[in-house]
Homo-oligomer: A and B are copies of this chain.
């Protein structure tokens, strides 16, 4: 019995599937089978019922799960405590919403590589709704997303807030004074994808005007910015991702009578034990934000993508 085998066992218990575990642990499916067989041989007990679509724990398997999770928990605590940071290795799957990717993600990644040079990061940029789904299906280990993940077994903590500013190309004539919602509704709006919180906020903002406003949405922030710069519409975005465009004058800020709610981002990750490194990364993320005590623009003006 070794720790790798116990980890395999725990992941099968979590995912209900040998195949998914193989993918999760970057191994072939027969390898996963072999590990469990060896564990079952050693304990002379069947651990999973493989008939049926999902691998389901037997009674003995449930007993083992308790111990295995405790051992994995201790093991990862051990690594955090006694290992020198560069000895902590492995792959962490990071799910981030694009706004994060545009702002302080580069700094976070820098911090992570600095603190844990041997950790491999896998980035998955997606909208928050999908990130939450990927988190619960354990396709990613930790997410930085809009809103909170209100699932049992998941830790979710708000950690930064962006207020949105309305911007438009100078080619669109707009007054210095705040414009009314009715006026806003007559201009095409480019924003985050449908099924995202900002989209819903804008939708509910202009719905009362009863105007059939054109709303373009894109899952790519750089596309939103590009379209706005090209004068295809106006958009409401965090000021932090627009530093270059506002400085060079290709975009101009304008004001609207009604205000949009801020975007509140949280970090979320599985609360189940054995994910000490993930928790450490979450702490690092929080520290990265709080050390400046406020949100800053990325150190470089260049976008990530």
Contacts and interface: CB of A to CB of B under 8 A. Distances in A.
A45 interface: yes
Interface stretch (A21-29, A79-87, A293-301): A79-87
Contact of A67 (B44, B60, B67, B74): B74
B3 A84 contact: no
Contacts of A4: 2
A87 B42 contact: yes
A129 interface: no
A217 to B, nearest CB: 48
A87 B60 CA distance: 14
Contacts of A74: 67, 70-71, 74
Contact of A87 (B2, B43, B86): B43
Contact of A1 (B75, B81, B84): B75
A220 B17 CA distance: 62
A121 interface: no
A148 interface: no
Contacts of A63: 81-82
A77 interface: yes
A70 B83 CA distance: 17
Interface string A71-115: 100110111011110110000000000000000000000000000
A87 B4 CA distance: 20
Interface residues of A, number: 26
A62 to B, nearest CB: 9
A207 B74 CA distance: 60
A45 B3 contact: no
A82 B45 contact: yes
A104 to B, nearest CB: 29
B82 A67 contact: yes
A15 interface: no
Contacts of A81: 63, 67
B87 A44 contact: yes
A64 interface: yes
B83 A42 contact: yes
A42 B3 CA distance: 14
A58 to B, nearest CB: 10
A86 B42 CA distance: 10
Interface in A33-51: 42-45
21 contacts: A1-B75, A2-B3, A42-B83, A43-B79, A43-B82, A43-B84, A43-B87, A44-B84, A44-B86, A44-B87, A45-B82, A45-B83, A45-B84, A45-B87, A60-B82, A63-B81, A67-B74, A67-B75, A67-B81, A68-B78, A74-B74
Interface of A: 1-4, 42-45, 60, 63-64, 67-68, 70-71, 74-75, 77-79, 81-84, 86-87
Give the 10 A-B CB pairs with smallest separation, nearest first. A67-B78, A2-B2, A44-B87, A44-B84, A43-B83, A64-B82, A63-B82, A60-B82, A71-B74, A70-B74
